[in-house]
Structure 1
Amino acid sequence: MLSSKQQAFELFNKSQNILIVLPANHTTDSLGSGLALAMLARELGKKTDLIAQEPVAEKLSFLPGLEMLKSEVAPLRDFIISIDTSEKKIKQLRYENKDSVLKIFLAGPDKLEQKDIRLDPGPFNYDALIVIDAPDLETLGQFYEKYTDLFFEKPILNIDHKSGNEYFGEVNLVEPTASSCAEIIADFLNSFFPNQIFAPIATCLLAGIIEETRSFQKTNTTPQTFNLASLLITQGAEKEKIVQFLYKTKPLKYLRLWGRLLSSLDVDREKNLAWVAIEPAEFEQLQPSFDDLAAISEEINDLVPQLNASILLWNDNSDWTEALVQSLKPELLQKLNLELGGSLKNHQVFFKITEQDLTLARANLASLINPLL
Structure 2
Amino acid sequence: MTSARPQATLRPSTPLLVDPALFDPASVAPDTRAVNASIVKALGAIPDRWVFPMAVLRKLRLEGKGPFPLSPESPLAQVIEIDGPRGPIPLRILTPAAPPKGVYLHLHGGGWCLGSARENDGLNHRFVERTGFAVVSVDYRLAPELPYPAGPDDCEAAALWLVREGPGRFGTERFAIGGESAGANLAVATLLRLRDRHGLAPFRAASLNAGAYDLGLTPSARRWGDEPLVLNTRDINVFVGHYLREGGDIGTDDVSPLQADLTGLPPALFTIGTRDALLDDTLFMAPRWLSAGNPAELAVYPGGCHVFVGFPGSLADQALARIHAFIGTC
TM-score, normalisation: structure 1: 0.25
TM-score, normalisation: structure 2: 0.28
Tell which has more relative contact order, 1 or 2 (C-alpha 8 A, sep 6+): 2
Q: Which has the larger radius of gyration?
A: 1
More strand as a share of residues: 1
